[in-house]
Amino acid sequence: MLPELVGMCRDYVTIAPRLGLDAFGEPYFGEARRFRCRISGQKRVLVNMQGDQVLSAQRVHLVAAPAVSEHDLMTLSTQDAGSTETSAIHPRIAAVTRVKDDLGRPHVVLDLNPWSRSG
């Protein structure tokens, strides 16, 4: 990510990778990591990996380019989520896009859907 854009990334999110499903079919997650990012409220309609149209309410630009999947557990602060509801604090990752800046440096863009159950 371009240094000029990194300066605009003043937010943080926590992402825990999904490791699998337990005996009851519930997801379980690994150790959560904190990432510097820029969170913006952008409503848009996306087509996910399964070909379904989903609504995205927020977009997260991560400074780093970690391995993130749609099944991981995202945690936002209540200030960033604008709510204390679990679905807002742990929105579903609707889409993961890996992009490169003008100099070829990678970063990750996440589209979030707070109206869908995470996990």
Domain of 91: which CATH number? 2.40.10
Under 8 Å between Cβ of 59 and 39:
yes
The H or E element spanning position 21 is strand 18-21
Task: Please indicate, yes or no, if residue 15 is contained in any of the structural domains.
Answer: yes
- For every one of its 119 residues, what pLDDT tens digit does the chain have, with 9 covering 90 and above? 667 677 778 889 999 999 999 999 999 999 999 999 989 887 888 887 778 888 888 899 998 888 999 999 999 886 666 666 776 788 999 889 898 888 888 889 999 987 665 44
- Number of compact structural domains in the chain: 1
Under 8 Å between Cβ of 12 and 74:
no
Which amino acid type is present at position 35?
F
Task: Please indicate, yes or no, if residue 19 is contained in any of the structural domains.
Answer: yes
Q: pTM (2 decimals)? A: 0.82
Distance from C-alpha of 91 to C-alpha of 30, rounded to nearest angstrom: 17
Task: Please indicate, yes or no, if residue 57 is contained in any of the structural domains.
Answer: yes
Task: Please indicate, yes or no, if residue 119 is contained in any of the structural domains.
Answer: no
Which amino acid type is present at position 111?
D
Domain extent at residue 12? 3-113
